[in-house]
Structure 1
């Protein structure tokens, strides 16, 4: 009876999340200057059938932004199932979603030494980024990339942290990492837009224009160019000017 109840919830979660996932690649201003997708979309290790159903439901809820509901299912899971690295990864995502940063960091840190270690480092970087601790974020994203060098999302996150640091050396690293990420994921709007930011911040206007010119629609090209220019101008303001905005 328990299996069929979970199964019905699983079907509902998958059906609801499908349109959301299909829309993730659509260009909008929320993809400008953003970190990459969450680490909930990772290859899950083998679990028992009941555990797999619970964690699949949780992944669907996290993809929908229903973090408190996900925490409820994770609490229920913990009553009868073993806490695996996959559980800790999803637990970290849900806690990060409700801004419980210390608890999220603990969950992600527990993944060190497991097959999801790279996910843990990326999660720790995203916790740092949420707190605007960009030096720490860069360090954790660097560790994630070292563990999974071909992961475009981790390279994108690292590049964005380096953009936030803003010095010449960091911007040079950001450009390299974002170009590599873009070769790995050529269709990603987030990676492309972060690359435009890096080039704009480094005053490489012609190279930034070349990337922008590759955007299909004029409206989107104008939006990306304006956002990058405004963002760079804001970052270059004296600290006292930025503090009053």
Structure 2
């Protein structure tokens, strides 16, 4: 299952609009001797696994090349559409990526489709739409820490009354996946935005390495400051 998990929204979340979805697979082309013994359908599936590995490495253009040239027989499968959407999103072809992810919402990978649509909206700065799409992904798969994290982050970016909901969703995500660095970092931001500096400090204190602790703290404070300034600028423009 795809681990391009978490929206890679902050540098610590990286991996991409990132760390986004599934276990790594071989990232190099299969050997000719291996391919020669497979039928056409098996070859296409094998190349999809290669594409998966390329996406894990952030090699989105190479992934598109493999999808267009080698995986032709798989073009109608949900797995193909998922990989295709990820590759298109990685190359900032947002309209095409949205089409690929939309196709997923009508099949067994509907949660991944809604999550993909949310990441497309987030990449374009439309956080209201991102929240809407991530809500649908969570509704279908409420135990997904990845989807809750994405929803929480989008709500942080949306701001306002969404901050309280973001904190709740990120707390839930952390309980589901306590080891996730991206969830922890997003929760630190949520706590700071909610005025809970003491709890944010306690969460940061759990980071063993002093340099990493300092980096996360500085990043979170800068994030809060940057978004506060953006909100102020937006309010001033509305008053003009």
TM-score normalised by the chain length of structure 1: 0.79
Structure 1 segment 22-101 matched on structure 2, within 5 A: 30-31=11-12, 37-39=19-21, 48-101=41-94
Unpaired segments ≥5 residues, structure 2: 25-39
Q: Deviation at 1:227?
A: 1.4
**Which residue in the other structure is 1:15 paired with?**
none
d(CA) in 2 for partners of 1:186 and 1:36? 19
Structure 1 segment 103-114 matched on structure 2, within 5 A: 103-114=96-107
Select 1:177's aligned residue among 147, 169, 180: 169
Equivalenced residues, count: 212
Select 1:189's aligned residue among 169, 181, 185: 181
Aligned-CA RMSD value: 2.6
Q: Which deviates the most, 169-178 or 127-136?
A: 169-178
d(CA) in 1 for partners of 2:63 and 2:121? 22
Select 2:198's aligned residue among 196, 206, 221: 206
Unpaired segments ≥5 residues, structure 1: 1-20
TM-score normalised by the chain length of structure 2: 0.81
Q: Provide, for residues 123-166 of structure 1, a one-character-per-residue CA deviation record: whole Å limited to 9, x for no partner.
A: 00000010010000000011111111111111100000010011
Are the equivalent residues in 2 in contact too, given 1:39–1:123 (CA < 8 A)? no
Q: Which runs of 4+ in 1 moved over 6 A?
A: 240-243
Q: Provide, for residues 76-115 of structure 1, a one-character-per-residue CA deviation record: whole Å limited to 9, x for no partner.
A: 2453445201000000000001000000000000011211
- Report 1 or 2 for greater relative contact order, CA contacts < 8 Å, sequence distance ≥ 6: 1
Q: Partner of 1:236: helix, strand, or coil?
A: helix
**Which residue in the other structure is 2:32 paired with?**
none
Q: Is the alpha carbon distance of 1:80 and 1:52 closer, same or farther for their aligned partners in structure 2, counting shifts above 3 Å?
A: closer
Are the equivalent residues in 1 in contact too, given 2:12–2:182 (CA < 8 A)? yes
**Which residue in the other structure is 2:121 paired with?**
128
